[in-house]
Amino acid sequence: MESEPGALETLIKLLKENKELLTNGQALAQAMTENATFENHGVSVSFQKALLQTNIIESIAIADLTDNKSCDNAREQAIAELMPIMREDFAKKVVGILIGAVKEVKKEEKERDERKRKQAEEQKRKEEEEKRKAEEEKRKQEEQKRKAEEEKRKQEEQKRKAEEEKRKQEEQKRKAEEEKRKQEEQKRKEEEEQKRKEEEERRKKKKSSSWAEVLVCIISLAIPIGALAIYRDMYPSQPSPKETAKTTNVTSNVTPKIDLNAVAKQPKQSSETSLDGIEIGMKATEMITLKGGANSQGEWVFPGYTIYDYGNLSAVVKDNKVCAIFTKAPAITTKKGVHTGSSAEEVKKAYGSTKASYFNNQLYEFSSIDNQKCYVGFGVSNNAVSNVRVAVKDVYDFLAAYSGLTNFHALITKKDFDSAYEAYLTENMRRQLGSYDSWKAGYRTTVKSEIKRVNSIKKVGNRVEIAYDLEATDNPGGTRYFTGRALIKNNGTFWAIDYMENR
């Protein structure tokens, strides 16, 4: 039993195949007996004795054979146990084989355990790595989600700020519009107050002028002065169609008595468009040199026109030139000798058939010294001349157009809607307004409609454009003021409104 490599290998194999043999010596002895390898080496009897009669396999199995001191202690103890049953050399041999086998088995087992441990640790590491990666992925997703929510929050905040800014701008715009409205309202009130004061001033002047008229009429046979008086003389209120029908073909043979001595004293006229030495087209400075200072002067019916009152005669100046002359004085005659008090037959004899007519005014066309188209006109009442006037055509047109506009509003105030609609609205204007009933309904609460002031007047083609201030009173509603613009056209009978707007 000097060398037992086969027995050692067989023992190692047996122990590897059945680890329970390390703690059961009898079972190990039986396994060795049944294995021919041990028989061939002649160690079976010695091992059987050692294993069956002692517990050395169990002692060796539990010893720490990796520690040299422990291993030596286990070896010596095992040999000591076998000495009573076998020779020392056999005991050492058996113990050496057992320790070598157990070492090998434990080594392999330890390596296997180490491998398992490493595998387990590797598996655990992988699982932890996967878990870490999963948690990292989760963290990234949560970070992305957080960033997305943060971005969404920022966008919502930006949207909120934009809406807030828009709201502030709208509020600023509303305040600006409110301020503008207040300023416009203040301006309107100031303008209305200014208009009221101007109207009051005009009313006072008119009242003063009326008293002056009374005085002058007493002194000079009821000769009117002032722009308004002359306008009324030249253009009395246009009659409604009903009134026109009543007065058509009404004549009288009554002729007023005339002071022939006064007529004989009048200066001889230089042209058909002159009266008492004043000519249409004459410069205002020449007129003043000729006639001297006027009794009074001021703005006429229309802006830009100035009237000079000389008592027995009035002259209107525009752009420093005389454009109209009016008189009621019997002492002032035309170049053909017609004057206030002349009969209608004398007018016809001197001038022939009427060339044109504005209401009761018979007009005859001539040219002024500055080649403007002029009319010499005679107001005829009771078959006799009541006043004489010479004026450029535009003045006649302006006065007639203004008369048409004011008469329209006067008829609205009088609730004579039929006459206003039929006489003072052209077909074109009626089409713009729609049906008669709807137009009339628009004035159902109106109690007063009056032109208070002319702001401008001019020719536009064959029409006259007038810009004006209008006072309108409604019940209910009260009094309001408007600025208006109208285009007025000669419709053959009256000057009628062809377009109109009030704001």
Considering 376, 392, 408, which residue would you say is the last residue of a domain?
A: 392
Q: What was the pLDDT predicted at 65?
A: 74
User: Picking from 1-10, 23-32, 292-301, 409-418, which range would have the lowest pLDDT averaged per residue?
Assistant: 1-10
Residue 445 belongs to some domain of the structure = yes
Give residue for tokens 């010294």: 369
User: Picking from 167-176, 193-202, 421-430, which range would have the lowest pLDDT averaged per residue?
Assistant: 193-202
Residues 384 and 457 grouped into a single domain: no
Residues 429 and 285 grouped into a single domain: no
Return the number of other C-beta atoms located less than 10 Å from residue 350's C-beta: 16
Q: How many domains does the chain have?
A: 3
Residues 320 and 411 grouped into a single domain: no
Residues 386 and 411 grouped into a single domain: no
Residues 346 and 251 grouped into a single domain: yes
> What does the pLDDT look like over 261-281, one tens digit per residue?
444 344 556 788 999 999 999
Residue 231 belongs to some domain of the structure = no
Residue 441 belongs to some domain of the structure = yes
Tell whether the model's pLDDT for residue 42 goes beyond 60: no
Q: State which of 122-131, 358-367, 403-412 shows the largest mean pLDDT.
A: 403-412
In this prediction the pTM is 0.49
> What does the pLDDT look like over 77-112, one tens digit per residue?
878 877 887 777 777 877 887 787 787 777 877 888
Q: What was the pLDDT predicted at 223?
A: 30
Residues 14 and 58 grouped into a single domain: yes
Q: Which CATH number belongs to the domain containing residue 487 in this structure?
A: 3.10.450.50
Query: Can you read off the two tokens belonging to residue 335?
Result: 């170049």
Considering 392, 419, 451, which residue would you say is the last residue of a domain?
A: 392
User: Picking from 40-49, 394-403, 433-442, which range would have the lowest pLDDT averaged per residue?
Assistant: 40-49
Residues 424 and 362 grouped into a single domain: no
Residue 53 belongs to some domain of the structure = yes
Tell whether the model's pLDDT for residue 215 goes beyond 70: no
Q: What was the pLDDT predicted at 252?
A: 35
Residues 373 and 269 grouped into a single domain: yes
Work out the end-to-end distance of the chain between its first and last CA atoms, rounded to an integer number of angstroms.
141
Residue 308 belongs to some domain of the structure = yes
Q: What was the pLDDT predicted at 387?
A: 93
Cα–Cα dist 308/460, whole Å: 28
Residues 26 and 81 grouped into a single domain: yes
Single-letter amino acid code for the residue at 146: R
> Mean pLDDT throughout 197-208?
62
Considering 392, 411, 437, which residue would you say is the last residue of a domain?
A: 392
> What does the pLDDT look like over 60-82, one tens digit per residue?
777 777 788 888 888 888 788 77
> What does the pLDDT look like over 139-185, one tens digit per residue?
999 999 999 999 999 999 999 999 999 999 999 999 999 899 899 88
Q: How confident is the model at residue 242 (pLDDT cuts 50, 70, 90)?
A: low
Q: How confident is the model at residue 339 (pLDDT cuts 50, 70, 90)?
A: very high
Q: What was the pLDDT predicted at 100?
A: 79
Range of the domain at 359: 238-392
Supply the DSSP string of 248-275, one letter for each residue.
TT----------HHHHHTSPPPSSTTEE
Cis peptide before 476, with omega less than 30 degrees from 0? yes
Q: What was the pLDDT predicted at 262?
A: 42
Residues 384 and 428 grouped into a single domain: no
Residue 131 belongs to some domain of the structure = no
Contacts 24+ apart (CB under 8 A), 229-234: 230/307, 230/314, 230/326, 231/301, 231/399, 233/326, 233/328, 233/379, 233/386, 233/387, 234/326, 234/361, 234/377, 234/379, 234/387, 234/389, 234/399
Q: How confident is the model at residue 411 (pLDDT cuts 50, 70, 90)?
A: very high
Residues 421 and 473 grouped into a single domain: yes
Q: What was the pLDDT predicted at 247?
A: 39
The sign one gets for the Cα dihedral 273, 276, 280, 281 is positive
Q: How confident is the model at residue 357 (pLDDT cuts 50, 70, 90)?
A: low
Q: What was the pLDDT predicted at 269?
A: 61
For residues 369 and 487, the model is more confident at 487
- Checking DSSP bridges between strand 361-367 and strand 373-381, what pairing results, if any? antiparallel
> What does the pLDDT look like over 326-338, one tens digit per residue?
999 999 999 999 9
Q: What was the pLDDT predicted at 317?
A: 96
Residue 404 belongs to some domain of the structure = yes
Residues facing residue 278 across a β-bridge: 275
* Per-residue 3-state assignment (H helix, E strand, C coil) for 198-238: HHHHHHHHHHHHHHHHHHHHHHCCCCCCCHHHHHHHHCCCC
Residue 366 belongs to some domain of the structure = yes
Residues 415 and 479 grouped into a single domain: yes
Q: How confident is the model at residue 46 (pLDDT cuts 50, 70, 90)?
A: low
